């Protein structure tokens, strides 16, 4: 289902925003840590999703960066699939997309792809930098 960018409610604020528009929205919750929601105009989600949401702002920002770099579509990838645009983009994008999925840790990526933690952090940094180069980052998170 395509999701247009929503109007922000009183408990929401933009965490990170790129042109086009693509953004991560911080959803403040009373008595609980905030959630971070990804939004992009016409981005297609899996039928069972209301859209990607994270507790960790770094994962949400990484997901947004991978989206900026690849413009992937998730709606037909299945519950555990990798969007074709992410696979075709290259190893760095694949690692970063996998890393920002719920329940995936750096240690899992280290073991699955036989990479060092340092290499994974380099991949993350390069994907984030490419996203900033490809789409003007309007605002950035503070974490």
> For residue 15, what are its two tokens?
């965490």
Domain assignment present for residue 98? The answer is yes
Q: Is 141 exposed, middle or buried (0-12, 13-18, 19+ CB in 10 A)?
A: middle
Contacts of 4 (CB under 8 A, 6+ apart): 41, 42
pLDDT of 3-15, one tens digit each? 457 789 999 999 9
pLDDT of 57-116, one tens digit each? 999 999 999 999 999 888 767 666 889 999 999 999 999 999 998 889 999 999 999 999
Domain assignment present for residue 141? The answer is no
Domain assignment present for residue 30? The answer is yes
3-class secondary-structure state, position 25: strand
Domain assignment present for residue 65? The answer is yes
| pLDDT of amino acid 21 | 85
Q: Cα-Cα-Cα-Cα dihedral of 106, 107, 111, 112, to 10°?
A: -40
DSSP label of 117: H
Domain assignment present for residue 143? The answer is no
Domain assignment present for residue 142? The answer is no
How many domains are there within the chain?
1
End-to-end CA distance of the chain: 30
pTM of the model: 0.86
| pLDDT of amino acid 78 | 67
């Amino acid at each position: 289902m395509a999701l247009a960018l929503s109007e922000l409610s009183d408990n929401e604020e933009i965490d990170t925003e790129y042109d086009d528009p693509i953004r991560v929205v911080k959803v403040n919750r009373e008595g609980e840590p905030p959630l971070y929601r990804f939004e992009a105009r016409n981005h297609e989600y899996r039928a069972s999703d209301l859209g990607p949401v994270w507790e960790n702002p770094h994962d949400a920002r990484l997901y947004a960066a991978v989206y900026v770099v690849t413009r992937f579509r998730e709606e037909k990838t299945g519950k555990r699939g990798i969007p074709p645009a992410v696979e075709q983009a290259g190893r760095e994008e694949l690692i970063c997309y996998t890393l920002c999925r719920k329940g995936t840790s750096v240690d899992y990526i280290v073991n699955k792809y036989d990479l060092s933690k340092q290499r994974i952090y380099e991949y993350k940094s390069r994907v984030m930098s490419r996203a900033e180069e490809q789409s003007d980052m309007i605002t950035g998170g503070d974490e």
